[in-house]
């Protein structure tokens, strides 16, 4: 047997969740052709040295839609063992989109996913309108597999134009949307995403939120024709509303024989019973034949903020939000004005917490200081305010002013931080791993490293998951739900998406700022630990020693239907 690659001496966790075993993996023409004891030689032989060989991890909730245009590796996802990503979540994709709506979508995308405008504008070369044209635009440069969703908001905008932001659709428009969705699914979309919560750059509901039930039902009928999935963002912070949405998803799943998934589902000290209540409703729906899978991230919720632009941290602080929207010089003057400062101070004393989070700005710390504040790096606002004898709001403002607003502040573990409690949730078979948000919120917090964190916290730490179960939840469990064909298992006939990792050391690294955007600016990322090598479709895409390779063999992955 002539092989391109043999990985020998491996602890094979095949993605099924069954016991791992020692053996070899043989690859030819991008496919796994043999698993077990393999004789002979190959063009390349890798000694795994007893480390785990597993299917490449799948990330079902990303917003890499724009980044893939300038970075077909979706860095740093590959180095965390991820070989397949799902962009286009939360009702937003970059296609189908008519040229006259590019500015509107760009502003909406940047607002919801918190992306710098200069990087977004510099990196995007709009060469498409249809979904198929977008797929063709990114296909040639892919080093990672992509299973794209099409956004419901984009389908509405394509058919209805600006009216998609104003009203319900007519029956004729719904029929046109059904055909538009069919075209996207034929062109490579694995499903459709929606949202019941998001607002655009003008604080108006995204178009998907204006759909009447009959519209969503009609589009789900099309998903049923293709065996495609529905992803949606519900009111995840309110148990009653969330349960109502789970029931709606359950009805759609049964009626159209589709899988549905919602994200996020996270534990919050503000609503400590919410996950348990939602899980009971999911179990009820499952018992009646529905497939409603929540996505839960593994990491706690961290946020960053500065005063250069509106950020989610200020979502319930209207005066702070309005201040960040001011032109730069006007903003500096306002922040120095005693009357305006007093208004900001009063507001921070008594504000409604953002959805599901608990924020105390005294706990904020100087995260990325400007040149005049380097001596404050890592220190909390509480300590600095006490030292200076002033209010925490004034302390934040004065530190920001000292460096022309370039200092950024951090808030850590605002929710989803009770790891002992979350350990049990992640072990629940009906809860999927996801909601990572890779590619979004790039100057707010790092959305990378959930895979390593799963192993470090919940396999090695709390010991509620075995290595085999953790691998299963990151691979075949996701591939099966999403209808992703021939991926997620180390099995002959499956794509040779493989990761070699050290189960004793796999983890996420510290959050760091890197200057790798296509325009001046930075983003927060995390490097990986314990990932030795990553193969995409049989070619090495990343190694710990050599970094990223030149291989560009990523694919638009086919559905199982």
For strand 31-36 and strand 365-368, is the pairing parallel, antiparallel, or unpaired?
unpaired
The whole-angstrom separation of Cα 367 and Cα 369 is: 6
User: What is the residue whose two structure tokens read 């995840």?
Assistant: 236
> How high is the pLDDT of residue 270?
83
Q: How far is Cα of residue 44 from the mean position of the Cα atoms in its chain?
A: 34
Backbone angles phi, psi at 333, to 5 degrees: -65, -40
For strand 260-262 and strand 292-296, is the pairing parallel, antiparallel, or unpaired?
parallel
The whole-angstrom separation of Cα 478 and Cα 475 is: 6
> How high is the pLDDT of residue 561?
42
Q: Helix, strand or coil for residue 42?
A: strand
Q: How far is Cα of residue 225 from the mean position of the Cα atoms in its chain?
A: 27
Q: What is the CATH class of 57-300+415-448?
A: alpha beta
Instruction: Decide if 65 contacts 92 (C-beta within 8 A).
Output: yes
Backbone angles phi, psi at 385, to 5 degrees: -65, -40
pTM of the model: 0.96
Handedness of CA 303, 61, 57, 128 (dihedral sign): negative
Please give the chain's pLDDT, 561 residues, in tens.
689 999 999 999 999 999 999 999 999 999 999 999 999 999 999 999 999 999 999 999 999 999 999 999 999 999 999 999 999 999 999 999 999 999 999 999 888 888 888 888 899 989 999 999 999 999 999 999 999 999 999 999 999 999 999 999 999 999 999 999 999 999 999 999 999 999 999 989 999 999 999 999 999 999 999 999 999 999 999 999 999 999 999 999 999 999 999 999 999 888 899 999 999 999 999 999 999 999 999 999 998 999 998 888 888 899 999 999 999 999 999 999 999 999 999 999 888 877 778 889 999 999 999 999 999 999 999 999 999 999 999 999 999 999 999 999 999 998 899 999 999 999 999 999 998 899 998 888 889 999 999 999 999 999 999 999 999 999 999 999 999 999 999 999 999 999 999 999 999 999 999 999 999 988 999 999 999 999 999 999 999 999 999 999 999 998 654
> How high is the pLDDT of residue 309?
86
Where does the chain hold its CATH 2.30.40.10 domain(s)? Answer: 1-55+486-506+529-545
The whole-angstrom separation of Cα 150 and Cα 188 is: 9
> How high is the pLDDT of residue 217?
98
Tokens of 366: 């100087």
Instruction: Decide if 223 contacts 193 (C-beta within 8 A).
Output: no
Instruction: Decide if 507 contacts 456 (C-beta within 8 A).
Output: yes
User: What is the residue whose two structure tokens read 């509901």?
Assistant: 205
Where does the chain hold its CATH 3.20.20.140 domain(s)? Answer: 57-300+415-448
Instruction: Decide if 13 contacts 57 (C-beta within 8 A).
Output: no
Collect all residues with Cβ–Cβ distance below 8 Å to 88 and sequence separation of at least 6: 65, 94, 148, 149, 150, 151, 189, 193
Right CATH number for 1-55+486-506+529-545 from 3.30.70.20, 3.30.70.980, 2.30.40.10, 3.30.70.120?
2.30.40.10
The whole-angstrom separation of Cα 105 and Cα 111 is: 10
The whole-angstrom separation of Cα 318 and Cα 304 is: 18
């Amino acid at each position: 047997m002539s092989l391109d690659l043999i990985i020998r001496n491996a602890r094979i966790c095949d993605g099924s969740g069954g016991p791992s075993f020692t053996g070899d993996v043989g690859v030819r023409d991008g496919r796994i052709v043999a698993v077990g004891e393999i004789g002979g030689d190959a063009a390349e032989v890798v000694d795994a040295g007893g480390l785990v060989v597993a299917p490449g991890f799948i990330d079902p909730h990303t917003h890499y839609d724009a980044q893939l245009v300038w970075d077909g590796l979706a860095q740093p996802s590959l180095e965390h063992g991820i070989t397949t990503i799902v962009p286009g979540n939360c009702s937003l994709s970059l296609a189908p989109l008519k040229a006259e709506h590019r500015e509107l979508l760009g502003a909406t995308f940047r607002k919801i996913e918190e992306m710098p405008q200069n990087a977004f504008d510099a990196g995007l070369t709009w060469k498409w309108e249809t979904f198929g044209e977008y797929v063709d635009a990114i296909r040639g440069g892919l080093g990672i597999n992509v299973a794209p969703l099409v956004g419901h908001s984009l389908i509405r905008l394509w058919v209805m134009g600006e009216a998609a932001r104003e009203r319900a659709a007519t029956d004729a428009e719904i029929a046109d949307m059904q055909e538009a969705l069919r075209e996207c699914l034929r062109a490579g979309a694995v499903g459709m995403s929606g949202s019941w919560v998001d607002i655009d750059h003008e604080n108006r509901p995204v178009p998907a939120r204006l759909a009447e039930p009959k519209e969503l039902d009609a589009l789900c009928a099309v998903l049923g024709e293709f065996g495609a999935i529905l992803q949606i963002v519900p009111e995840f912070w309110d148990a009653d509303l969330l349960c109502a949405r789970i029931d709606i998803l359950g009805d759609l799943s049964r009626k159209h024989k589709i899988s549905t998934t919602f994200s996020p589902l996270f534990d919050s000290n503000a609503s400590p019973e919410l996950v348990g209540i939602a899980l009971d409703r999911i179990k009820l729906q499952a018992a009646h034949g529905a497939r409603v899978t929540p996505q839960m991230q593994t990491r706690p919720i961290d946020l960053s903020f500065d005063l250069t632009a509106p950020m989610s941290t200020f979502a319930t602080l209207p005066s702070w939000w309005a201040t960040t929207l001011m032109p730069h010089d006007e903003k500096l003057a306002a922040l120095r004005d005693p009357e305006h400062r007093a208004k900001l101070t009063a507001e921070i004393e008594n504000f409604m917490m953002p959805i599901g989070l608990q924020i105390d700005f005294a706990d904020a710390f100087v995260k990325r200081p400007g040149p005049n504040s380097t001596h404050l790096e890592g220190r909390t606002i509480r300590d600095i305010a006490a030292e200076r004898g002033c209010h925490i709001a004034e302390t934040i403002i004065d530190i920001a002013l000292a460096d022309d607003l370039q200092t950024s502040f951090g808030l850590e573990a605002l929710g989803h931080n009770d790891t002992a409690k979350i350990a049990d949730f992640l072990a629940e078979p009906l809860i999927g791993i996801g909601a990572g948000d890779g590619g979004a919120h790039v100057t707010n917090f790092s959305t990378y490293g959930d895979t390593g964190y799963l192993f470090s916290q919940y396999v090695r730490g709390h010991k509620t998951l075995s290595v085999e179960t953790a691998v299963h939840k990151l691979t075949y469990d996701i591939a099966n739900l999403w209808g992703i064909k021939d991926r997620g298992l180390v099995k002959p006939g499956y794509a040779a998406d493989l990761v070699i990792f050290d189960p004793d050391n796999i983890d996420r690294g510290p959050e760091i700022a890197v200057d790798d955007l296509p325009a001046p600016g930075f983003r927060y990322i995390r490097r990986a630990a314990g990932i030795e090598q990553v193969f995409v479709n049989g070619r090495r895409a990343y190694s710990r020693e050599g970094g990223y390779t030149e291989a560009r063999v990523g694919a638009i992955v086919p559905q199982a239907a």
